Amino acid sequence: MDHKNGYLSGPQISPQPIHGEISVVELIENSFLAYNAARLKEACHLFVGKMLHENVTIGLSLTGALTPAGLGVSAIIPLIKNGLVDYIVSTGANLYHDTHFGLNLPLYKGSATVDDRILKEKNVIRIYDIFFEFDVLLDTDSFYRKIIQSPEFQKPMSSADFHFLCGKFLLEREKVPGILDRSFLAAAFEYGVPIYTSSFSDSSIGMNVAEMMLKNRELQIDPLRDVNETAAIVYNAKSSGGRSAVMIMGGGSPKNFLLQTEPYIQEILGLNEKGHDYFLQITDARPDTGGLSGATPNEAVSWGKIDPGQLPDSVVCYLDTTVALPLLTAYALAKKKNRPYKRLIERKDQFVAAMQQEYLSREKEN
């Protein structure tokens, strides 16, 4: 039999019955056989089989209200602590809500069908089916207003430098019994993972920094430093003989900021590069409505974001991040633990200087 010219040469769909003792790895390997379940299995294989190699630098983007749902504690902290992510681009909201956990401020399971007028009267905030007291916001604002008055904050800095200092203060808070490993900002400080926010002013943390500026404080977040630092991280990964991987949870500004590193290197700086090597995206958006504009792997190739020679090493899974990220994390931790830490926060300035020298040398030649 010629298997219909190869079309019927793939593995036969022949699952085993699910049983009560099945592991996450067994479930994904044996039962995720088609549709987006199969795409998630492909994502797991790509993540563990190729992206987690020691010579790959992994950037993670986070969009949507993930930390209020507990994913900072359940998934992101384990990824950081086990060296499975090297730098992060996140919405400011995820970092702000992460701080609630670091301050031991409670969030509760609620209902998406409640009358929000009643919640307003009761001073209860709702994020879909998550409830918390209005005072949680006030207490978190108070924490940020207090720490950003510290001397070490009184200078221009990248958002990664800012979040590194915030993580330092949150890690001090975690020495209180009962709140260990509750904030991924604190974990990022401990393990040297830079965290960038592509729209710093579009968050409650940004609003608190803006309020400090009215008091003539010297703290300034320089978004252009973020552009150079993230690009330098990617350029160093590739120019030193390694590879670059992007792991995109959702879309929005963090997705684009993570991917624009390559067009910046190639198009703006004119340095020789081909694009990210590995592309893993979890999304519920669609390209035909503009929600995935420039960010499907094939389309990203045309921008120089993805190396066309590595296009097969790209997976897009159309699935809710709150479902996919815990499964992906559990699968990865079962397969590979304790990848060496790159501690990029301590090396990023060196990478920027090297990229700048290369750029200026090219400019001089031209």
Give me the residue spans of the domains in the chain.
36-93+155-202+221-365
Q: Is the pLDDT of residue 296 over 90?
A: no
Q: What integer pLDDT is reported at residue 298 of this predicted model?
A: 80
- What own/partner pairs with CB < 8 Å and gap ≥ 24 does 147-156 have? 148/208, 148/209, 148/212, 148/217, 148/219, 149/212, 149/217, 153/217, 153/219, 154/217, 154/218, 154/219, 155/218, 155/219, 155/220, 156/218, 156/220, 156/221, 156/222, 156/225
Q: What integer pLDDT is reported at residue 28 of this predicted model?
A: 97
Average pLDDT value over all residues in the chain = 93
Residue 62 and residue 324 in contact, taking contact as beta carbons nearer than 8 Å: no
Task: Round to the nearest angstrom and report the end-to-end CA distance of the chain.
Answer: 61
Q: Is the pLDDT of residue 69 over 80?
A: yes
Phi, then psi, of 314 in degrees rounded to 5:
-135, 135
**Range from 125-139, 145-159, 172-186, 201-215 carrying the lowest mean pLDDT:** 172-186
Of residues 221, 226, 223, 195, the one with CA closest to residue 208: 221
Residue given tokens 């987690």 in the structure block: 52
Distances (CA, A) of 65 to 96, 227, 257, 320: 10, 24, 18, 12
Q: Is the pLDDT of residue 107 over 70?
A: yes
Mean pLDDT of 54-71: 96
Q: Is the pLDDT of residue 294 over 70?
A: no
Q: What integer pLDDT is reported at residue 155 of this predicted model?
A: 94
Residue given tokens 């479930």 in the structure block: 27
Q: Is the pLDDT of residue 356 over 80?
A: yes
> Cα(90)–Cα(169) distance, rounded to whole angstroms?
19
CATH of domain 36-93+155-202+221-365: 3.40.910.10
Mean pLDDT of 268-278: 95
Q: What is the DSSP string of 133-149?
A: EHHHHHHHHHHHHHHTT
Q: What integer pLDDT is reported at residue 9 of this predicted model?
A: 83
Residue 95 and residue 120 in contact, taking contact as beta carbons nearer than 8 Å: no
Q: What integer pLDDT is reported at residue 315 of this predicted model?
A: 95
Q: Is the pLDDT of residue 291 over 80?
A: no
Pairwise pLDDT comparison (4 vs 182), residue with the higher score: 182
Q: Is the pLDDT of residue 307 over 90?
A: no
**Range from 187-196, 202-211, 214-223, 237-246 carrying the lowest mean pLDDT:** 214-223
Q: What integer pLDDT is reported at residue 174 of this predicted model?
A: 78
Q: What integer pLDDT is reported at residue 293 of this predicted model?
A: 60
Q: Is the pLDDT of residue 4 over 70?
A: no
Distance of CA 80 to the CA centre of its chain: 11
Q: What integer pLDDT is reported at residue 305 of this predicted model?
A: 84
Q: Is the pLDDT of residue 179 over 80?
A: no
Phi, then psi, of 73 in degrees rounded to 5:
-75, -45
Q: Is the pLDDT of residue 1 over 60?
A: no
Pairing state of beta strands 108-109 and 124-127?
A: unpaired
Digit-coded pLDDT (tens) for 113-129:
999 999 999 999 999 99
**Range from 45-49, 64-68, 295-299, 333-337 carrying the lowest mean pLDDT:** 295-299
Residue 250 Rama label (left phi>0; alpha psi -120 to 50; beta): left
Q: Is the pLDDT of residue 319 over 60?
A: yes
Q: Which residues are catalytic?
A: 305
> Cα(227)–Cα(230) distance, rounded to whole angstroms?
6
Residue 196 and residue 89 in contact, taking contact as beta carbons nearer than 8 Å: yes
* Residues above pLDDT 90, as percent of the chain: 81
Amino acid sitting at position 207:
M
